[in-house]
Amino acid sequence: MAAPRWRALGLWIRGNGQRLGSLFSPVSKPFCSAAAASTSVNAQRLAERLRAQKREQDTNKKPVSTNPVQRRVQEIVRFTRQLQRVHPNVLAKALTRGILHQDNNLVVINKPYGLPVHGGPGVQLCISDVLPILAKILHGHKAEPLHLCHRLDKETTGVMVLAWDKDMAHQVQELFRTRQVVKKYWAITVRVPMPSAGVVDIPIVEKEAQGQQQHHKMTLSPSYRMDNGKMVKVRHSRSAQVAVTRYQVLSSTLSSALVELQPITGIKHQLRVHLSFGLDCPILGDHKYSDWNRLAPQKLSVGTLKKLGLEQSKARYIPLHLHAQQLILPALGSRKEDLNLVCKLPHFFVRSLRRLGLEMPNQNQNENNEAECLGAQ
């Protein structure tokens, strides 16, 4: 008896366990050709996509430089990107390793470079995101989230104060607002401030900078200007804010300096603006405020680039060398004495000091410089 056959929609199969003779009848050949062509196109697209991804990965895998400074710059770039990609638990754990002080009211951390304090456009992870996790690591799973007492710029490193409850956070914020907290920053500057110590008292206002790319920057809004050798009072801008910065050169060469900055007020980007536009000594790695009309990597002299072991084309990778080195909080709550918080410099900052020939001041020298600065006022 002949094996039974089924034929429907061009499909036929032999029974009795025999092999599949054909999937499609001659009528279905055009469909078969189209399907095969479609499969071929999809496979080709997939292969092209994989090759493009491979090329992108190869491009991102830059060769490791033999120059120690360039190698360190590459490490900083990778570290900054990694901070935005790590799991919040990993970041919180990393912050615990940088705790400077902890008591029943406060937790003081060493803020890493490149980590934003608050969220915003393009920010995948920030300090405020991990405060609940950080609290649980320190005080157990029932701990309430920590609270921010102040903020630092994304590129600024150093002392950052957190509080266990809202009331304490508000008290510390009030101390900052009423200028009762002593804040000291260290910065490496391009060029040397003249005179070597003084006070910059120039209001700051935010303006739109006209250039190839329209952008907003904080800038100076002086109350006076020189007109034919005479001091002329300028009409005050209503949006300008009072900004006062005390500064002291701690170490210098012909082309750079280590400067201690004490902001009396707390205006956005105050230190960067006063140094760059007020003293004509921008902070090393400040690619935003080194030029008013341009948004471009900071231009450095040939001598400075040589000391750093970099080419101008790599200058965009230089991080901002601004560090919140010390905070002195007055007595608060059950604490009867001032709280002196000091944070060591990040590795990249120390290496730049060495490369530029700048010396780290000892504590006694620093106190003497501070006394001289206060006595000169």
Residues marked active site are found at: 153
DSSP 8-state symbol, 295:
-
User: Rounded to an integer, what distance in angstroms lies between the CA atom of residue 285 and that of residue 106?
Assistant: 32
Task: Give me the helices (H) in 240-315, please.
Answer: 270-273, 302-308
Count CA atoms closer than 13 A to 223's CA, side-chain side.
7
**Close Cβ partners of 251 (under 8 Å, ≥ 6 residues apart):** 257, 258, 353, 358, 359, 360, 361
User: Rounded to an integer, what distance in angstroms lies between the CA atom of residue 23 and that of residue 28?
Assistant: 9
SS3 percent helix, strand, coil of the chain, rounded to 5, is 35, 25, 40
H or E segment to which residue 167 belongs: helix 166-177
User: Rounded to an integer, what distance in angstroms lies between the CA atom of residue 159 and that of residue 157?
Assistant: 7
Token pair recorded at residue 140: 């157990």
Token pair recorded at residue 33: 């050709």
